[in-house]
Amino acid sequence: MSRRVNNFSAGPSTLPQQVLEEAQAEFVEYQGSGMSLIEMSHRGNHFDEVHRDAIEMTRQIFRVPDCFEVLFLQGGATFQFSMVPMNLLRAGKRAGYVNSGSWATGAMTDAKFYGDIYTAWEGKDCGYTRMPQDDELEIQSDTRYLHITSNETIGGVQFTHWPDVDVPLVCDMSSDYMSRAIPWEKFDLVYGGLQKNLGPSGMALVFVRKSVVEDCNTDIGRYMRYAVHAEKNSMFNTPPVFPIYILGKILKWMSEKGGLDVIEREAQEKSNLLYSVIDSSDGYYSCPVERRCRSTMNVVFRLPNDNLEAEFLKQSDAADLLNLKGHRSVGGCRASIYNAMPRTGVTALAEFMVAFRDNNPG
Ligand SMILES: *Cc1c(COP(=O)(O)O)cnc(C)c1O
């Protein structure tokens, strides 16, 4: 038996054990073929079935309407920071960006190369501890889209209420992908890397409205065009075979659990376990994020001082509660509790936090 710790890594991150074991069992020889799935043609019957299943399950579980294309693209979410404006922006149109933290800043940095963009809301002034309210968004004329980051992985800040604006939304959902239902009518494009909720790194799952695909720029290289990938059903070049295969298995695991509604409820319950320890600790633990924007995926918290924080990380490591250190840019602690983090792991952390406070008074 392999040893499995409670891994609170922000990404790549914990995946369902059942999925890892299934993949292991069929890794060397895939379904009687005499070879591994990663050794065979991506145009053959075996991979074709894996590919079609993954697309179908994605549509079914995430309730994706027919007016959206489902695309499997390489380059992670980061490549989408460029690909979105390359395809959607042109002279006379601009894009608004909500700067909610590190990832939104990254998206803006790249978009600047491809078009006219502006900051529709700046979160830096409040230390990226909240998302904007609707009436704080400054949407300019000729706005092609408003770009938002549904969950800031480093800051632990999440849109719990989708912006109500009269321009289409484009959203980076990398770190809360498929953890809740989304209102598709608000979106033109949704993207995210797999490696938080949905699989290994190296691939982005992208949803683009079909009418948008038809109207994308065509003066860019073929790999950069949504229309090329849509026309070839994400088989324009050799697709990321292994991530697609694992994605399919994770979707099956999600479906067996009861689908999106169950996942969404569990995410609420798991994060509430940790926030209630924080809130009932008389200020020993503190979460810098405004209450209405607390993330269900990345729970960030501080201890009374740096020494106690270091001690907390040392002792939690020894208790097999791993990767609780906050991102180096912000410090503190962070528990990433994505879809595959079992409730038992979160309970173990909650109990550890209570005991640590009792044994190490501030
Ligand atoms: C992890 C992450 C990314 C980057 O994903 P890559 O696959 O490494 O490009 C982008 N945005 C958010 C919100 C993330 O959490």
**CATH number of 154's domain:** 3.40.640.10
Annotated catalytic, 270? Answer: no
Distance of CA 174 from the midpoint of ligand 1 (Å): 6
Could you tell me how many residues make up the chain?
362
Residues 162 and 301 both lie in one domain: no
Kindly state whether residue 129 falls inside one of the protein's structural domains: yes
Q: What is the pLDDT along the chain (362 residues), one digit of tens a residue?
A: 789 999 999 999 999 999 999 999 999 999 999 999 999 999 999 999 999 999 999 999 999 999 999 999 999 999 999 999 999 999 999 999 999 999 999 999 999 999 999 999 999 999 999 999 999 999 999 999 999 999 999 999 999 999 999 999 999 999 999 999 999 999 999 999 999 999 999 999 999 999 999 999 999 999 999 999 999 999 999 999 999 999 999 999 999 999 999 999 999 999 999 999 999 999 999 999 999 999 999 999 999 999 999 999 999 999 999 999 999 999 999 999 999 999 999 999 999 999 999 999 98
- In the numeric block, which tokens belong to residue 159? 């849109």
Distance of CA 129 from the midpoint of ligand 1 (Å): 19
Q: Are the C-beta atoms of 188 and 168 separated by less than 8 Å?
A: yes
Q: What is the pLDDT of residues 232-284, one digit of tens each?
A: 999 999 999 999 999 999 999 999 999 999 999 999 999 999 999 999 999 99
Annotated catalytic, 196? Answer: yes
DSSP state of 325: B
- The residue annotated as part of the active site, out of 116, 172, 176, 188, is 172
Question: DSSP string of 250-314?
Answer: HHHHHHHHT-HHHHHHHHHHHHHHHHHHHHTSTTSSB--S-GGGB-SSEEEEB-SSHHHHHHHHH
The rounded distance, in Å, linking the Cα atoms of 211 and 276 is: 45
Q: Which ligand 1 atom lies nearest to the CA of residue 193?
A: 7
Query: Residue 193's beta-bridge partner residues?
Result: 204
Kindly state whether residue 10 falls inside one of the protein's structural domains: no
**CATH number of 327's domain:** 3.90.1150.10
Parent domain of 306: 258-359
